[in-house]
Amino acid sequence: MNALSQRRGRRFSLSPAEGERAGVRGPLLANALRGSGKGVMASVFRFTISAALASFLMGAALAKDEPPSKIILDTDIGGDIDDAWALGFVLNYAGFDPVGVTICDGNTPARANIACKLLHVTGHTNIPVAVGRKTRDDFSPQFSWAEDFTALKPIAQPAADFIVEKARKYPGEITLIAIGPLQNVADALRKEPGLGKSLKRAVFMSGCVYHPAGQTNPVPEWNVVAATKDAQLVYGAGLPLTIVPLDSTTLVQLKTDERERVRKRDSPLTSSLECLYRLWLESPDSRMTLHDQLAVAETATPGAFFGQRPVLHIYVDDRGFTRIDEQKGKPVTVCLQPRRDAFMDYYVGVLTH
């Protein structure tokens, strides 16, 4: 049995007992992929779209004569590094009108401090941060970046209540982007089972349908297996759901020159992201996998960065696998075959414009 799970953060965020409960055994998938992902990318995915086309995509999205899209970002910021960089994407993308940021999984108050500080230093203090239920007393080095930060506080309203209230206030307008375990989305559904009818879309970094890069079998993905019961409720709720699974995200890792482009911009945002990146680094050759940013990109320009988006019937089994089953599953749009270089040009362009 392949019981390997994708731990989406520092390994020591989980105690051994917690890791065992979450199905994390053996080396981290991200570590296993280092050194092999490049070859897989070259051999399997040869989609190369020029930087010019990426710029065109960004310009086309921004040039639309439409109001910015209302979004809520549900995040476990402070674990893996991609959440902070995904929040940076949200804040710098002119096509979004962020209604709020909600915080899920583990030490949610500490995670919320990071989101609040990032909003403060980038001048987005009008965007509320709502905290979800605390599920563990974990610690991450990124927490230290904001441990004494008090200039901007989260709102008192719990995250699930916030999601339900805003979905009711703006029916059919909000895209809920969930890039962490699904406790807050599940809690919102417990309060409002008809939430799916109020949302425009739900776009999650979630699941593993066929296999991650460099593997041959599916694995339980962290955002599902970390709260499997909650994920089962959410996948069964009939949301207008699109997922970006590990099948795609494990093919997209940050290159040194791309990190340098962001660092050299030297804005309050990019300086903060570089600082958090250094706190996250485990070794000089650590590389960020851009799991969560791909879900944000799919929200910004639907379909632009994936070669295939089939609608599959997906359910979550008791071990946290996302399985295809016509009878048990609900229809989910699954983003496959990422256009890595086009996405990266687009994404770095948004962070540095």
Site residues (CB under 5 A) for Ca ion?
76, 83, 179-180, 292
Min CB(8)–Ca ion separation in Å = 5
Angle of helix 228-235 versus helix 183-191 axis, rounded to 10:
50
Contacts of 16 (CB under 8 A, 6+ apart): none
- Token duo for residue 288: 């960020």
CB of 65 to Ca ion, least distance (A): 33
CB-nearer residue toward Ca ion: 87 or 348: 87
C-alpha of 5 from chain center: 16
Question: Helix (H, G, I), strand (E, B), or coil: what is residue 331?
Answer: strand
Closer residue to Ca ion in complex, CB, 192/292: 292
Q: Which residues contact 307 (CB under 8 A, 6 or more apart)?
A: 45, 47, 336, 337, 338, 339
Supply the minimum distance, in Å, between the C-beta of residue 203 and Ca ion: 13
Q: C-beta of 315: minimal distance to Ca ion in Å?
A: 22
Query: Shortest approach of Ca ion to residue 160 CB, angstroms?
Result: 18
Q: Which residues does 192 contact at the CB level (< 8 Å), separation at least 6?
A: 164, 167, 168, 198
CB of 43 to Ca ion, least distance (A): 28
**Closest CB to Ca ion among 136 and 313?**
136
Q: How far apart are CA 245 and CA 294, in angstroms?
A: 10
In the bound state with Ca ion, the residue whose beta carbon lies nearer, of 28 and 58, is 28
CB of 57 to Ca ion, least distance (A): 24
Rounded-to-integer distance, Cα 139 and Cα 133, Å? 16
Burial of residue 46 (CB within 10 Å: 0-12, 13-18, 19+) is exposed
**74 or 341: CB nearest Ca ion:** 74
Q: Which is nearer to Ca ion, 4 or 87 (CB)?
A: 87
Distance CA 225, CA 238 (A): 20
Contact between residue 261 and residue 273 where contact means Cβ atoms under 8 Å apart: no
Residue (292 or 298) nearer to Ca ion, CB: 292
